Amino acid sequence: MSQKSQPELFNDAFLVQRLSALGLRGVRRVESHQNRAVMVSVTPRGVLRIHRGYAYAPDSVLAAIVTFVKPGTRLQRRRAAQAVILAFPVDAFAPPQRARRRRKPSARPEDLPLLRQLTAMHKQFNGQFFDGQLSRISLRISRRMRRRLGELMLDANDAPVEIAISSRHVARDGWHEVEQTMLHEMIHQWQAESGRPVDHGAIFRKKAREVGVTPRAMRDVGHTSSTS
């Protein structure tokens, strides 16, 4: 069968049918993409984002996807399912698309010393609490954030692209609280980069206890997903 004829036989609707038949539950809708940054993920709003190449995968791979996204799956089973998922050659069926680059707004000159400190903080915490596994990420000082102390920004494929810290938070609450906020958002970054749901559920709370994020930080610091 040629790849040109495959899209006529395999589409998103058929993929949803197959996943549902294999036990997929609790997902509001499924969105496919062709970006390898995050192969399979579930957003906080219950949207399953999945690489389009999995429409051509056998049931054994789709069953692994169902296991991977199922709430409460033990870490060992998730890792085994992840290995099956990543072994499937999605690019052979749905080659990656080039993303359009957006010009990143320049930081204000007065923010540069603080951004250097935050960059050093992220690097330190990455090695101290995440075994150095997190990717380097863009940092930004926000003057628009009034109710949030920090945000992890995700792209359209649920890949982390930026951590923003409120300028009011820095000026008002002191450096220790800023560290708590940074750790909070880095836990969300860890969730996203490891294919876990980005939320404030049991996995978040467990990791927060491990890294020493205080209950106040878990309650007050928010998270949002954005394509901007």
Q: What is the 3-state secondary structure (H, E, C) of 50-65?
A: EEHHHHHCCHHHHHHH
In the chain, domain spans: 6-92, 109-220
Give backbone dihedrals phi and psi of 87, rounded to 5 degrees, phi first: -75, -20
Chain centroid, CA 74 distance in Å? 19
Domain 109-220: CATH superfamily, name plus number: Metalloproteases ("zincins"), catalytic domain (3.30.2010.10)
Looking at the domain that runs over 6-92, which CATH code has it been given?
A: 3.30.2010
Is the pTM for the entire model greater than 0.95? no
Fold match flag (6-92 vs 109-220): yes
What pLDDT, on a 0 to 100 scale, did the predictor assign at position 10? 53
151's enclosing H/E stretch is strand 150-154
What pLDDT, on a 0 to 100 scale, did the predictor assign at position 41? 80
Q: Give the mean pLDDT per block of 10 residues along the chain (228 residues).
A: 42 83 86 75 79 90 92 86 90 68 68 93 95 92 86 81 93 92 94 86 90 60 36
